[in-house]
Amino acid sequence: MSGIRDRPEEDQLTSAPQPPEPGDEFARVLDRVLLGGAPSPSLRPVRVTSAVDEVSDRLLTAIAVGDFLPGERLPAERELTQLLRVSRPTVREAVGRLQAVGVIEIRRGRNGGAFVRESWSESSAAAVRRTLLPRWEEFEQLFDLRGLVEGMVAATAARRRRPEDLEPIREALDAYLSATTPREEQIADSAFHESICRATHNPQIATLSRDLLTRISLGFPAEPWGKGERSHFHRASRDHKALYEAIAAGEPAKAEEIARDHFTISADMIREVLARVRAGEPA
C-alpha cells in the first residue's frame, strides 16, 4: 500500500502474509496451535496508511461475503479490538463509517449494539477489491489448506467418535435442516462442525479448525454465508447428512472425501462476491 507511515503499536492490524513456500502453510498454522495460540510469523502485524481504513474495509468485506448477515449484531467493541488488534477509537471510527454509509445501525440500550442493515452499499465494491485482490493468492492457498484440514478432522471424528458424540452432531444437523433464516442456518452449521471437532477428542484439532476459519473470514470466526443462497443451502444439507452418516458408520475415508468437497462452498461464496465486484455487478 502506498503512503505507508508509522502507526501506534496498538493500531497495527494483523494482515495476510506473503505467499508461503510450498508446503509451509500447514506447518505454520500447526506451529501456531502447538505454541498455544502465539501469533504466527505468517500473521505478523503490518503498518498501514490508516488503521481505520483497514478496519472499515475489512468489516464491509466481511458483511459482503456474509460473515455477518442482515439483522445480526457485530461483535462488541471490546471483542473487535481483540480480534483485529487495534485500539477502541479505531474500531469506533470504523463502525461510525459503516453507519454513515447505511450498512449498519446503532441501537442503544441493554440489547443494543451495531446491527447489520444491508449486505451491500456503494462503498462495498471498493472495499472488497482493496481487501481481497492483493491477498487473493494467499486466500486460494488457505481454501486448499482448509479442505485438507477439515478432511482430516472428519476422518479423525469417524475413527474416534463415541456413541455419545453422535447426539450433538445429529441435533445440529436437525437444527440446520429445519432452519428458516440464513442466520439460523449459519448458527446450526457452526454447531454441526464444532460437534464434529469435539468428536475427535483432541482440542488442538478444534483450535486448528477455528484458526483457519478465522483466517479466511478476515479475522472473524464466522463462516462466510453469502446472501443465504438456497442453492448453497441445499448442497450443504446433502453434505451434512452424508457427513453425519459417514461419521456414525465409522467410515473415515468417506467422511474425509465429503468434508473436503463440502468446505469448497465457503470458498465459492467468496469467489462469487469477488467475481461480481470485478464485473461491476452489485454483490
pLDDT in tens, 87-108: 999 999 999 999 999 999 999 9
Comparing CA positions, the residue from 202, 194, 208, 201 lying closest to residue 36 is: 208
What whole-number distance in Å separates Cα of residue 15 and Cα of residue 47? 9
* Cβ density class 99-117: b for 16+ within 10 Å, e for less: eebebbeeeeeeeebbebb
Residue 16 pLDDT exceeds 80: no
pLDDT at 259: 98
Q: Percentage of the chain with pLDDT > 90?
A: 71
The band of 283, judged by pLDDT with boundaries at 50, 70 and 90, is low
Of the chain, the end-to-end C-alpha distance in Å amounts to 25
Residue 119 pLDDT exceeds 70: yes
pLDDT at 281: 67
pLDDT at 236: 94
Q: What is the 8-class DSSP label of residue 73?
A: B
Question: Across all residues in the chain, what is the average pLDDT?
Answer: 85
pLDDT by residue (tens digit) across 25-46? 455 555 554 444 444 443 444 3
Q: What is the mean pLDDT of residues 190-194?
A: 97
Residue 190 pLDDT exceeds 50: yes
Comparing CA positions, the residue from 4, 84, 102 lying closest to residue 45 is: 84
Q: What is the mean pLDDT of residues 261-266?
A: 95
Task: Give the number of other CB atoms < 10 A from CB of residue 203.
Answer: 11
